[in-house]
Amino acid sequence: MTKKVQNFVIVCGGTGGHIYPGLAVASGIRKKFKEASIHFIGTYNRMESKIIPETGYPFYGISVEGIQRRMDWVGIKKNVKSLLLLVSGIPLWQSLRILSKIKPQAVFATGGYFSGPVIFASYILKIPCISLEPNVVPGLANRLAAPFLKKIIITHQESSIYFRRKDKCVKIGTPVRPEIFATNRNEALKNFHLDPDRITILIMGGSLGAKNINDSIQELLRMIKNNENHLKEKIQIIHSIGKRHYQDYIEYLVDTGEINYQPLEYIEHMDQLLPAVDLFIGRSGATSIAEATSLGIPMILIPWRGVNQAANAEVLAKNGAAELIYDDELTSGKLYQFITDFVIHPQKREQMVQNSQQQGNPNAAEEIADLLIQISNK
């Protein structure tokens, strides 16, 4: 490996779904090149400005705001502010100044509105840049930035049709936190006091929770409790309810009887649980899917219609790695039927595990690191 490869910039922020893939790639670079200097760029006032410095990496903030999808007065006002800031050239000037100071050999962006100014600045400075697209339907930022990118990392082959230059698309997958591979199944079972002879089901709707999913679980628990085939003796459920709904949910929680059921407000260290999970039930965000498929976990995905998550879930269902229930069609009965089939048909479980593994890539971070090193040497 040449000495030229020593300096990299990673652009990430806004949400954990953009931050943690960036940190995963940083770890991948360090595995390949221990002496690499890695710098992060994000926004001043979002969660990355706290999370990244805590990991020990240098962090630089730029002034950029996202476009709101809500079209009420508050959303319109924020969008006008965001556009005025962008047109002012301040985010681009800040990005040019930071990149000129760091002088990286390559830039990796995790997609999202915050990456645009840095991608364009890297293009002006002739620094090769690649960007991650974790969703089936690419976001606006990556579509607009595509002409200025050296390569676009896609997770699903279906994403390539949205880009004019399909030759720029490289199917690698979404990198996940290396911590999820540091815990083995037995350790994860012990962490949450789980029975190794039962099928472990994880139910979650994000950090804040999903009321529709939570509501359906109450009736699902009644069905499991009254099942004549002893279903409750074959499964155990970890339910991350979400901070927004936890108190109300617990107040009206049904009598779960002998069901091994753990209702939790929030699971802070998901990496310590995931290796024990046999079935995931929840939304179909890119990060959740990437972590589940990297471990070969089958899924029941419950997306809203007409959003990126729906397309993600549809692809996973088409490839046999997940069952799909749209949020507006969710019933306790459907969940009960899917869970029952999953439990009583071991061949189906094994096939879904294999299908899930085929949709994931546990080595994505290292492969993206390899690509970054490769383009930095050209």
Annotated binding site for UDP-N-acetyl-alpha-D-glucosamine: 15-17, 135, 177, 207, 267, 309
Identify the sign of the CA torsion 10, 11, 16, 21.
negative
- The HSE-up count of residue 338 (CA atoms within 13 Å, CB side) is 21
Contact 264, 238 (CB under 8 A): yes
Spatial separation of the C-alpha atoms in residues 213 and 198, rounded to whole Å: 23
Distance CA 375, CA 378 (A): 5
CA atoms within 13 A of residue 47's CA, in its CB half-sphere: 8
Contacts of 370 (CB under 8 A, 6+ apart): 32
Give the position of tokens 């050999």.
105
Cβ–Cβ < 8 Å for 213, 201: no
The enclosing H or E element of 202 equals strand 199-204
Least Cα distance to 289 among 322, 264, 327 occurs for 322
**Burial zone of 106 (CB within 10 Å; 0-12 exposed, 13-18 middle, 19+ buried):** buried
Q: DSSP 3-state assignment of 152?
A: strand
Tell me the torsion sign for CA atoms 245, 251, 257, 262.
positive
Q: How distant is the alpha carbon of residue 69 from its chain centre?
A: 20
Locus of tokens 């697209």: 133
The tokens for 125 are 């400075």
Q: Nearest CA to 280 among 258, 249, 246, 313? A: 313
Tokens of 81: 């502010």
One-letter amino acid for residue 281 of the chain? I
CB 109 within 8 A of CB 87: no
Q: Would you list which residues are annotated within the binding site?
A: 15-17, 135, 177, 207, 267, 309
Q: How many CA atoms lie within 13 A of 339 on its CB side?
A: 28
